[in-house]
Amino acid sequence: MSIITSSTGIMSVQPAQTITTGSAQSPLGNTQPDDAGSVKISMAGLMMAGQANKKTSGKYDDIENSGLPDEVQRILKMIRDLKEKLKAEQEKLQQIMNDASLSDETRQVKVAQSQAMINALSGALADANQMLAKVTKDLNLSKEDLVKVAALAMK
């Protein structure tokens, strides 16, 4: 099954793996699919998107209900995501270090890769925090809003 969105915004469901909407006239007068104006959604993709929405449902409720400006909310969400990814990578590194089935050489390679990822995520987190500080300063937020920002950034 696939969902088709037409150029008029009408959605329909049809049995197929992928569907292309839109068409273009070829120089020979034949109608051909127009990939530039197409929307292709597979059922598997739709199901994955639905699962992703379920996972994040409520994940940002406190940020979205804070009443803070959109730019601040966007950065707070980015910080939260980076913290989650950093925590997951740190756990992965610990698992690699404790995996007795790995050869010393393989372990060293995997540890180095994981440490590089941790360093990259840590740098991105530092950048996001600096961006948040700059944006909150530029927006001249109230003391109450600054307290909200700090509390949400710590989660």
**65 and 141 co-located in one domain:** yes
**49 and 84 co-located in one domain:** no
**36 and 93 co-located in one domain:** no
Which pLDDT score is estimated for 116? Answer: 97
Tokens of 104: 């010393």
Which pLDDT score is estimated for 20? Answer: 42
Using alpha carbons only, how large is the chain's radius of gyration in Å?
23
State yes or no: pLDDT of 78 exceeds 90.
Answer: yes
Which pLDDT score is estimated for 52? Answer: 52
**22 and 36 co-located in one domain:** yes
**12 and 82 co-located in one domain:** no
**31 and 71 co-located in one domain:** no
Average the pLDDT over 3-16 and give the result.
Answer: 44
State yes or no: pLDDT of 98 exceeds 50.
Answer: yes
| Number of domains, the chain | 2
**144 and 105 co-located in one domain:** yes
Which pLDDT score is estimated for 58? Answer: 87
Supply φ then ψ for residue 22, to 5 degrees: 90, 155
**51 and 74 co-located in one domain:** no
To the nearest whole percent, how much of the chain has pLDDT over 90? 63
**39 and 114 co-located in one domain:** no
Distance CA 48, CA 33 (A): 26
**CA-to-CA dists, residue 120 to 16, 117, 124, 139, 141, angstroms:** 41, 5, 6, 28, 30
Average the pLDDT over 52-62 and give the result.
Answer: 71
Average the pLDDT over 117-146 and give the result.
Answer: 96
**46 and 109 co-located in one domain:** no
**66 and 96 co-located in one domain:** yes
Which pLDDT score is estimated for 48? Answer: 55
State yes or no: pLDDT of 92 exceeds 90.
Answer: yes
pTM recorded for the entire structure? 0.62
Give the residue, 40 or 85, on which the prediction is more confident: 85
**47 and 97 co-located in one domain:** no
Domain span holding position 40: 2-56
